[in-house]
């Protein structure tokens, strides 16, 4: 069992984590025709906006209440009211997701009370779903904000079913923030193969999958609709992916009675066997031949790759659920996890195959990664990779110096197989070819290679 330890530094050097606020904003972007609104200064929103634009390379809808120094002292009610009215008038969204920031949280603004008062005073806001989430950026991290936003959408929008009879094919899926749009597409194909009807909350595969819209939209381009969210209480089952979604799954079950199944990861052979077995039992459909073949392909890839993975030392820095998925998969492939650095507390940390997990920054990561064979983190780890001379596998968010980050695939048999090839090729590319000198035992290194005798 891993032990979580916190660094003793008094400042953060080269930050690893991102704030709860933008984690919640990204979750709201998984809803169709939505507009995330950060209740804070303009800088809080602009930094998050730039981060998402660089990662997804798409137009990102985000707004701010633009708190000034005076508004911060006196309270932000007027700013929230004006922002909601302006967004409703100009963008006409189906949902506005309002996220607090450090400024509004320290001031003590009652955002939930603000929203109630504003809605009662402005009937023109009635057609719009307003969901507020407490996401202070001085505590927690990105996945905490994502989880808070999903939980609040369930609390505010999901309707309690009047009848206990449920459709036999509808499945709720709550993906964690480490699940990419490409992963969601893969999971949707898997559910469809079992004749199940999956509803993803949030669904970034509809809004941030890189498609070209027919016309400009000031809000999100796709995703789960508000109407679909309201009907999640009539599903047969809920599948939560990642420990961060555990609380949201519990909330949904408490509110509607829909039972849930938690998968802490879907990267690896055994966990996908468990997923296939579960889907088969729920749907009554045998595992399709397509996935039996993909499983065979994954096993073959594991056999091909273990020569290059075995004994390699890997250092990982990521959000807890992504760290858990990558660490377990690499450990199963024969790697040693030399260092594990994360951003926030999570029950998932106890399961990671390493003695200790450090809650720290990329400086802590770099100090512990010396001598490793591979680094795994997002693009801000590229400087550490250069200084240490160790190859970097980019995972998580942001990845802004490579194309296709939103389509990176790591779930299912096929995603796990792809990871083996991508990481295995990094090991191969950076392998040191043996020379005549390295072939010899150490005690013979000083002897000449050829002894020439003269007569």
Task: Please check whether residue 100 lies inside any domain of the structure.
Answer: yes
**Confidence check: pLDDT of 454 > 50:** no
Task: Please check whether residue 7 lies inside any domain of the structure.
Answer: no
Which pLDDT belongs to residue 449? Answer: 46
pLDDT in tens, 217-266: 899 999 999 999 999 999 999 999 999 999 999 999 999 999 999 999 99
Task: Please check whether residue 2 lies inside any domain of the structure.
Answer: no
| Residues 242 and 318 occupy one common structural domain | no
Q: Among 290, 309, 332, where does a domain finish?
A: 290
Which pLDDT belongs to residue 443? Answer: 55
Task: Please check whether residue 11 lies inside any domain of the structure.
Answer: no
Three-class HEC string of 335-380: CEEEEEEECCCCHHHHHCCCCEEEECCHHHHHHHHCCCCEEEECHH
Cis peptide before 398 (omega within 30 of 0): yes
Alpha-carbon 299 to chain mean position:
26
| Residues 340 and 242 occupy one common structural domain | no
Q: Answer whether 194's CB lies under 8 Å from 182's CB.
A: no
| Residues 303 and 421 occupy one common structural domain | yes
Q: Answer whether 99's CB lies under 8 Å from 25's CB.
A: yes
pLDDT in tens, 94-142: 999 999 999 899 888 899 999 999 999 999 999 999 999 999 989 999 9
Task: Determine what percent of the chain falls in helix, strand and coil, rounding each to the nearest 5.
Answer: 50, 15, 35
* Distances in whole angstroms, Cα of residue 108 to Cα of each of 113, 114, 153: 12, 12, 22
As a whole-number percent, the residues of the chain with pLDDT over 70 amount to 94
pLDDT in tens, 137-171: 899 999 999 999 999 999 999 998 876 666 679 99
Cis peptide before 202 (omega within 30 of 0): yes
Task: Please check whether residue 208 lies inside any domain of the structure.
Answer: yes
Q: Is the dihedral of CA 266, 268, 274, 277 positive or negative?
A: positive
DSSP 224: B
| Residues 219 and 316 occupy one common structural domain | no
| Residues 330 and 230 occupy one common structural domain | no
Task: Please check whether residue 5 lies inside any domain of the structure.
Answer: no
Matching residue, tokens 């390699």: 312
Matching residue, tokens 């969204």: 93
3-state secondary structure of 45: helix
| Residues 270 and 371 occupy one common structural domain | no
DSSP 385: H
| Residues 391 and 348 occupy one common structural domain | yes
| Residues 250 and 371 occupy one common structural domain | no
Which pLDDT belongs to residue 27? Answer: 98
Which pLDDT belongs to residue 444? Answer: 54
| Residues 286 and 304 occupy one common structural domain | no
Q: Answer whether 16's CB lies under 8 Å from 362's CB.
A: yes
| Residues 274 and 381 occupy one common structural domain | no
Q: Among 290, 308, 342, where does a domain finish?
A: 290
Distance separating alpha carbons of residues 40 and 80, to the nearest angstrom: 10
| Residues 344 and 358 occupy one common structural domain | yes
pLDDT band at 452 (very low <50, low <70, confident <90, very high): very low
Distance separating alpha carbons of residues 97 and 31, to the nearest angstrom: 10
Alpha-carbon 132 to chain mean position:
21
Q: Among 245, 272, 290, where does a domain finish?
A: 290
Structural domain for 382, as ranges: 292-429
Task: Please check whether residue 442 lies inside any domain of the structure.
Answer: no
Distance separating alpha carbons of residues 332 and 334, to the nearest angstrom: 5
Helix and strand numbers, DSSP H then E, in the chain = 18, 14
Q: Residue 174: give its domain's CATH number.
A: 3.40.50.1980
Spatial neighbors of 120 by CB under 8 A, at least 6 apart, are none
**Confidence check: pLDDT of 441 > 60:** no
Distance separating alpha carbons of residues 98 and 125, to the nearest angstrom: 14
DSSP 213: P
Spatial neighbors of 15 by CB under 8 A, at least 6 apart, are 361, 362, 380
Distance separating alpha carbons of residues 197 and 171, to the nearest angstrom: 6
Average pLDDT across the chain, whole number: 92
Distance separating alpha carbons of residues 258 and 252, to the nearest angstrom: 7
Alpha-carbon 308 to chain mean position:
27
* Distances in whole angstroms, Cα of residue 166 to Cα of each of 154, 171, 197, 236, 256: 18, 10, 13, 6, 11
Three-class HEC string of 240-267: EECHHHHHHHHHHHHHHCCCEEEECCCC
Q: How many domains does the chain have?
A: 3
Q: Residue 183 burial (CB < 10 Å; 0-12/13-18/19+)?
A: buried
Task: Please check whether residue 344 lies inside any domain of the structure.
Answer: yes
DSSP 315: E
What average pLDDT score do residues 401-412 get? 95
Matching residue, tokens 């290194």: 445
* Distances in whole angstroms, Cα of residue 112 to Cα of each of 3, 8, 31, 99, 427: 37, 36, 20, 11, 51
| Residues 87 and 152 occupy one common structural domain | yes
């Amino acid at each position: 069992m891993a032990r979580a330890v916190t660094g003793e530094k008094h400042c953060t050097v080269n930050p690893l984590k991102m704030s709860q606020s933008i984690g919640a904003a990204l979750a709201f972007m998984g809803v169709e025709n939505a507009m995330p609104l950060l209740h804070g200064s303009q800088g809080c929103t602009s930094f998050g906006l730039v981060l998402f634009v660089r990662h997804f390379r798409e137009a990102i809808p985000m707004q701010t209440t633009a708190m000034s120094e005076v508004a911060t002292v006196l309270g932000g009610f007027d700013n929230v009211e004006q922002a909601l009215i302006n967004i409703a008038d100009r963008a006409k969204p189906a949902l506005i997701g309002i996220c607090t920031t450090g400024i509004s949280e320290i001031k003590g603004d009652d955002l939930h009370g603000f929203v109630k008062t504003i809605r009662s005073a402005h009937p023109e806001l009635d057609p719009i779903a307003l969901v507020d989430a407490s996401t202070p950026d001085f505590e927690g991290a990105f996945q905490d904000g994502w989880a808070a936003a999903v939980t609040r959408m369930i609390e505010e929008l999901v309707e309690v079913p009047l009848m206990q009879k449920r459709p036999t094919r509808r499945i709720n899926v709550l993906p964690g923030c480490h699940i990419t749009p490409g992963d969601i597409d893969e999971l949707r194909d898997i559910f469809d193969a079992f004749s199940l009807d999956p509803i993803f909350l949030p669904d970034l595969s509809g809004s941030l999958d890189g498609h070209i819209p027919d016309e400009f939209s000031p809000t999100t381009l796709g995703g789960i609709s508000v109407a679909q969210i309201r009907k999640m209480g009539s599903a047969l089952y809920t599948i939560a992916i990642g420990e961060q979604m555990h609380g949201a799954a519990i909330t949904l079950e408490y509110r509607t009675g829909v039972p849930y199944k938690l998968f802490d990861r879907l990267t690896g052979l055994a966990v996908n066997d468990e997923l296939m077995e579960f889907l088969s039992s729920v749907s009554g459909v045998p595992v399709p031949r397509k996935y039996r073949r993909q499983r065979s392909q994954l096993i073959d890839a594991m056999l091909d790759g273990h020569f290059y993975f075995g004994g390699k030392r890997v250092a990982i820095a990521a959000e807890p659920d992504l760290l858990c998925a990558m660490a377990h998969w690499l450990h199963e492939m024969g790697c040693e996890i030399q260092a594990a650095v994360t951003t926030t507390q999570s029950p998932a940390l106890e399961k990671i195959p390493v003695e200790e997990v450090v809650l720290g920054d990329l400086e802590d990561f770099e100090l512990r990664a010396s001598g490793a064979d591979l680094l795994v983190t997002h693009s801000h780890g590229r400087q550490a990779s250069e200084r240490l001379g160790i190859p970097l596998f980019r995972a998580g968010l942001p990845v802004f110096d490579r194309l296709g980050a939103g389509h990176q695939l790591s779930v299912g048999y096929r995603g796990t197989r792809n990871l083996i090839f991508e990481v295995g090729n990094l090991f191969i590319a950076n392998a040191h070819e043996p020379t005549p000198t390295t072939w010899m035992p150490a005690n013979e290194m000083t002897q000449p290679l050829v002894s020439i005798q003269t007569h």
